[in-house]
Structure 1
C-alpha cells in the first residue's frame, strides 16, 4: 500500500512555495508520491476569472520535471461545474483503491473545514496533512466537534515560512516587475512566451487539458 499526498490548488501559476511545501510534506509524512490536483472551477472562486487549464497544467508539467515523486491528477480539470474536494477524493479513492490518501492543506483550511461540503466524508476518505502556518490559530476541539470524522485523522507538519503568493506573482507580471526565483525558470519563460497575466485572465478552460497528459 502506497501513501499518496493530494495537493489541491489553482496553481495560477505554480511557484516555488508550492514545490517546497510538497517536498517537505512528502518527507515528513512518509509519502510515496504527491499528486498535484489543479482545480477546474473552485466553488469559492466563482467570481474570479482563472487562467485556462491548458496553461496551468503545462506550467505544472514544466515545474515538476525531474522529480519522479511528483505527478498531476486531471480529475478536476476534466469535469464540468464547480469542483468540490469531497467529490475529487471519491474519484481518487476509486483510482487508488489499495492506497492511503493524505489530503494536504494549510492550517487556515483546517480551520475552515467545517464550512466545506460534506467535511466528514472528506476526513473519511483521506487523512488530513496540515501545514502549520504562523499567525493562524486553529481550535482543534472546535473542528473535531463540527467534523467528528476528522478526529485522529489530522497530521500536523511544520513547514518553512515561504511568503510567495500566486496573486502577487500575477500582479507583478501585470506591472512589468520581475518574478525571477519565485517560480521555476521554465515557468517564468512560459509566462513570458505566452503573455500570461499581462491582462485580465479568461474563465477556466477544460477543452485542451488532455493535450498535456504527458506528465
Structure 2
C-alpha cells in the first residue's frame, strides 16, 4: 500500500510555490508520489475567465518534466461538468484501490469544507492534509460537527510560507513585468510564446495553438 498526495487546483499558471508546497507535503507525509489534479471546470470559479485547459495542462507538464515524484492525474481533465473533489476522489479510488489518498489543502480551504459539494464523501475517501498558515485558524470541533467523517482524518502539516499566487503572476504579465523565478523557466517561455495573460482577452481565449499538447488517454 502506497501513499498518494492529491494536489487539486486550477494551476493558471503553475508556479514555484505549488512545487515547494507539494514537496513539503511529500517529505512530511512520506508520500510515494504527488498527483497534480488540474480542474477542468472549477466549481468555485464558474463565470470567471480562465485559461483554456490545454494551456494549463501544457504548462503543468513542462513544470513536472524532471520531477519523478510528481505526476498529473487527468480524471478531471477528461470529464465534463464541474470538477467536484468528491467525484474526483471517487475516480482516483477506483484507479488506486490499494493506496491511501491524502488530499492536500490549505487551512482556509479546510475551514470552508462544510460548504463543498458532498464534503462527507471527500473526508471518507481521503485523509485531509492541511498546510498550516500563519494567522489562519480552524475550529476543528465545529468542522467535525459539520463534517463528521473528517474526525481523525485531518493532518496538520507545517509548510514554508510562499507568497506567490497565480493571480499575481497573471497581473504581472498583463502589466509587462517580469515573472522570472516565479515560475519554472519552461513555463515562462511557454507563457511568452503563446502570449498568455497579456490582456483579459488572452485569459478568455479558447482556440488552442497547434503545438499545445493534447489530452492523453488513460
How far off is 1:77 after superposition?
A: 1.4
What is the CA deviation profile of residues 21-40 of structure 1, one whole-angstrom value per residue up to 9, with x for unaligned ones? 00000000110000000011
Q: Look up the SS of the partner of 2:31 in the other structure.
A: coil
The count of residues paired between Structure 1 and Structure 2 equals: 214
Q: Distance in 1 between matches of 2:36 and 2:86?
A: 16
The correspondence for 1:202, drawn from 198, 204, 210, is 204
Partner of 2:129 in structure 1? 129
Counterparts in 2 of 1:3-82, with a 5 A limit? Answer: 3-82=3-82
TM-score, with normalisation over the residues of structure 2?
A: 0.94
Which one has more relative contact order, counting CA pairs under 8 Å at least 6 apart?
A: 1
Q: Look up the SS of the partner of 1:37 in the other structure.
A: strand
Partner of 1:213 in structure 2? 216
Q: Distance in 2 between matches of 1:164 and 1:61?
A: 20
How far off is 1:213 after superposition?
A: 3.4
What is the CA deviation profile of residues 21-75 of structure 1, one whole-angstrom value per residue up to 9, with x for unaligned ones? 0000000011000000001111110021111111101100110111111000111
What is the CA deviation profile of residues 68-99 of structure 1, one whole-angstrom value per residue up to 9, with x for unaligned ones? 11000111111111110000000100011111
Partner of 1:83 in structure 2? 83
Displaced runs of 4+ in structure 1, greater than 6 A?
203-206
Q: Distance in 2 between matches of 1:130 and 1:181?
A: 26
TM-score, with normalisation over the residues of structure 1?
A: 0.95
Kept in 1: contact 2:5–2:101 (CA 8 A):
yes
Q: Distance in 2 between matches of 1:81 and 1:151?
A: 30
Tell me: CA distance 1:193–1:205, structure 2 relative to 1, closer, same or farther (3 Å): closer
Q: Look up the SS of the partner of 2:47 in the other structure.
A: coil
Q: Distance in 2 between matches of 1:113 and 1:185?
A: 34
Q: Distance in 1 between matches of 2:186 and 2:75?
A: 25
Structure 2, unmatched stretches of 5+, are: none
Kept in 1: contact 2:58–2:213 (CA 8 A):
no
Kept in 2: contact 1:4–1:99 (CA 8 A):
yes
Please provide the CA RMSD for this pair: 1.9
Partner of 1:144 in structure 2? 144
Tell me: CA distance 1:126–1:18, structure 2 relative to 1, closer, same or farther (3 Å): same
Structure 1, unmatched stretches of 5+, are: none
